[in-house]
Structure 1
Amino acid sequence: MIGKDYVKMAMVTNDGRANKRIINKLNSEKYDVGGVLNGCLGLSGEAGETLDMIKKWVFHEKELDVEHLKKELGDVMWYMAMICHSMGFDLDEILQMNIEKLRARYPQGFDVARANNREEGDV
């Protein structure tokens, strides 16, 4: 398949209204949509940097710079905090909700069978 043919066929599923949706969302939401977008994009970038460090450590036999890893994890947390702030979420509440979810999912600690057979709706 030729790339331009792929683009033509694939873009049938794109209605071209992304900018309009962003503007509508910016004008109608009680949330800081710009902060959410910045946070999500930044989180993705920092997670990618963290993953790249781990990949090189495991598969390229590069020594792991633990202090650098800590800094990257701090950057990940900064973007998590930004998303929470932009949505009006309490980070403490998010952390507590996560622990409660994990306790319900794995009451006796991690279990491979439970991990592979989660109930519907278990997010």
Structure 2
Amino acid sequence: MEFSEYQHKAMRTVNKSLDKKEMLLNASLGLSGESGEVADIIKKFAFHGHELDKEKIRKELGDVLWYLALASEALGVSLNDIARGNVEKLLKRYPDGFDSDRSINREEGEK
């Protein structure tokens, strides 16, 4: 499935009473919450002796993706554009693949 198709299908489940500002706030809080759930599963695996529940992580990552789509929608941009822009940024930052030195010594203002 392409990002554009996902975004279109996922946005069928958005609360239509929300304005763009509310959608963005919902997305931001949702991303924080769902990312925290992923982190908690990994924390329990790393430090509490739990088995790594890959299926549960997969489901939570799906929720993260939904909130990314919501943020994209609120901003009026496509997930395709966000993904493309991120790859372009990474290719510029790491033209030959990841490099620790380039990571440590980034140019001022580069994030």
TM-score where L is the length of structure 1: 0.73
How far did residue 70 of structure 1 move? Answer: 0.3
Compute the displacement of 1:75 (Å): 0.3
Mapping of 1:50-61 within 5 angstroms? 50-61=38-49
Higher-Rg structure is 1
Provide the alpha-carbon RMSD of the alignment.
1.0
User: Which stretches of structure 1, 4 residues or more, deviate above 4 A after TM superposition?
Assistant: none
Question: What is the match of residue 91 of structure 1?
Answer: 79
- Corresponding residue for residue 54 of structure 2: 66
| Structure 1: gaps spanning 5 or more residues | 1-30
Which of 1 and 2 has higher RCO (CA within 8 Å, sep 6+)? 2
Shift of the alpha carbon at 1:90? 1.2
TM-score in terms of structure 2 length: 0.81
Equivalent pairs counted in the alignment come to 93
Identity %: 52
Q: Which range moved further: 45-54 or 57-66?
A: 57-66
Return the offset for 1:58.
Answer: 1.2
